[in-house]
Structure 1
């Protein structure tokens, strides 16, 4: 019984010590964040070519393109919004330049332990009924290819289709 009590006390002490060191690590990480935020004003463009095999009817030309990032090795972690921008397009195919902050990887939470993975989404009420991303709207063709992109200054291709 006495040994169990000593083990419990030792375990509690270890947990308390590890808890004391954790905030210090967080503040060290936070102190490096302002240095990274100084580069937020500069950005690069991600060129995205949208295409599709269907005949598209566009009644509402306004769409929003979003770029998300996540740790490639974390399957259950949610993706983080890096940037998004609204565009107007009256026909498909089309090409856009999406401004991407140079510190895009620093906007991913939780911070990637390995390589970061990026993908784009669109939100478009192309049929003009007041509701985006529903039957009749233009959407990313996930059956053809997932919209992964690389931030390497090369044009990226995304396939579109009409939701049915």
Structure 2
């Protein structure tokens, strides 16, 4: 139930962000070409995970996933582009997430304009055998939605303990 609620919140945020930026239509060609250029030249995105709390990590294994969607389609589901497992024993940490060069071509339905990308994590950090539940580390959507660009520049993702 909680996972469905979080997915609903994420979808709502994506819908709102696409509705609140109508003025960007005049520059749609530039972001699309920038995304294509970054995809062609980048095989990894650098993600810096941090948080304001002191975290206790009993299970260091986490999964980071990259999703993509058409920026102009608010009701279309996002497509899983790639995911990878990591081991981390403390926060903050930085990872390099491999991204396929044809990431935009994997998005279904095919984007008619620029593609939008975001990351998620799945982590049973408290070691109770169940990921993404109370007590686990989770992305802090209240602080910032985890949108990312397909570039080699470091990008911040904020974490908090799920309560």
Normalising by structure 1, what TM-score? 0.74
Q: Deviations over 1:128-153 (max 9, x none)?
A: 00000000000000000000000122
Q: Deviations over 1:59-109 (max 9, x none)?
A: 000000000000000000000000000000000000000000010000000
Indicate the SS of the match to 2:99.
Answer: strand
Write the distance in 2 (CA, Å) between the matches of 1:162 and 1:48.
19
Which residue does the alignment assign to 2:147? 148
Alignment of 1:1-164 (within 5 A): 44-164=43-163
Give the unaligned 5+ runs of structure 1. Answer: 1-41
Deviation at 1:43, TM superposition (A): 6.6
Write the distance in 2 (CA, Å) between the matches of 1:152 and 1:126.
28
Normalising by structure 2, what TM-score? 0.74
Deviation at 1:113, TM superposition (A): 0.1
Task: Report the RMSD for the aligned CA atoms in angstroms.
Answer: 1.1
Write the distance in 2 (CA, Å) between the matches of 1:118 and 1:82.
9
Runs of 4+ in structure 1 over 4 Å off = none
Which residue does the alignment assign to 1:23? none
Larger Rg: 1
Write the distance in 1 (CA, Å) between the matches of 2:151 and 2:42.
13
Write the distance in 2 (CA, Å) between the matches of 1:146 and 1:156.
12
